Amino acid sequence: MPAHRLDRVTARRVAVRAQLLDARRPTDLLATVRQLTFLQLDPTAAVAPNADLVAWTRLGDGYRPEQLTRALETDRALFEYRAMVRPMTDLGLHRAEMAAWVAHARWRDWLAANDAFRRYVLDLLRDSGPLLSRDVPDRAAVPWPSTGWTNNRNVTQLLEFLAARGEVAVAGRVGRQRTWDLAERVYPPDTPALPAEQARRARDERRLRSLGVARAAVVGTAGEPAEIEGTSGAWRVDPTALDGAPFTGRTALLSPFDRLVHDRRRALELFDFEYRLEMYVPKAQRRWGYFALPVLHHDRLVGKVDATADRKGGVLRVDAIHEDVPFPAEVATAVRDELRALASWLDLPEVRLPGR
Q: Is 177 helix (H, G, I), strand (E, B) or coil?
A: strand
Percentage of residues of the chain with pLDDT beyond 90: 87
Task: Say which CATH class 95-185 falls into.
Answer: mainly alpha
Cα separation, 11 vs 212, whole angstroms? 8
pLDDT for 164 equals: 93
Q: Which residue has the higher pLDDT, 146 or 7?
A: 7
pLDDT for 2 equals: 83
Q: How far is CA 238 from the centre of its chain?
A: 20
Q: Which residue has the higher pLDDT, 205 or 175?
A: 205
* CA-based torsion, 195, 201, 205, 206: positive or negative: positive
Q: What is the pLDDT of residues 76-98, one digit of tens each?
A: 999 999 999 999 999 999 998 89
DSSP string, 100-153: T----HHHHHHHHHTHHHHHHHHHHHHHH-SEEGGGS----SSPPP-SSTTTT-
Task: Give which of 39, 157, 54, 44 is closest to 87, Cα–Cα.
Answer: 39
Q: Is the pLDDT of residue 189 over 90?
A: no
pLDDT for 193 equals: 84
Name the average pLDDT for the chain: 94
Q: Is the pLDDT of residue 102 over 80?
A: no
pLDDT for 311 equals: 95
pLDDT band at 187, cuts 50/70/90?
A: very high
Q: Is the pLDDT of residue 148 over 80?
A: no
pLDDT for 356 equals: 60
Mean pLDDT of 271-297: 96
Q: How far is CA 306 from CA 223, 268, 292, in A?
A: 37, 20, 4
